[in-house]
Homo-oligomer: A and B are copies of this chain.
């Protein structure tokens, strides 16, 4: 290890930050747009995925997990409930809370989405070569970490 002159933090960090910003903008728009096909918004799909993987959860749980305000998560859940895709039951011990779960219709909708090869992103992902997939997988934990508050 040789002694280096101190790096300017901005010079070091900014290109990466800006590259990240530039890469994620279009990707995010694409995710949002193509997620919408079929009537489920992106947030709705993300919430349904979380309920599938992690089971029942409260508004506040989900809001924390997704890093949004409880009011925002409440709106998403209300929309899903209105479609009959999730249902809520009072929390057994805490009278303030409700536990949300996927309904059968919600599970079915989710399965349908997955088997539909529903968006072009899925196709784009399968078209990646192994090296690209590996690069993506390796970066996921870092991306998740950067998304934490």
Q: Show the binding face of A for B, using Cβ within 8 Å.
A: 9-10, 12-14, 16-31, 35, 42-43, 45-46, 49-50, 66-68, 114-115, 117, 121-122, 124-126, 128, 132-133, 135-149
Are the CB atoms of B122 and A17 closer together than 8 Å?
yes
Chain B residues in 8 Å Cβ range of A22 = 46, 49-50, 144
Task: Indicate which residue in B18, B24, B117, B121 contacts A27 across the interface (CB closer than 8 Å).
Answer: B24
Chain B residues in 8 Å Cβ range of A67 = 25-26, 29-30
Query: Which residue of chain B has the shortest Cβ distance to A149 in the bound complex?
Result: B30
Task: Indicate which residue in B135, B141, B148 contacts A142 across the interface (CB closer than 8 Å).
Answer: B135
Contacts A9-B126, A13-B122, A136-B142; A28 near B18 (Cβ below 8 A): no
CA A20 to CA B124, docked complex, whole Å? 13
Chain B residues in 8 Å Cβ range of A23 = 140, 143-144, 147
A69 to chain B, nearest CB (A): 10
Are the CB atoms of B66 and A20 closer together than 8 Å?
no
Chain B residues in 8 Å Cβ range of A31 = 21, 24
Chain B residues in 8 Å Cβ range of A114 = 10, 14
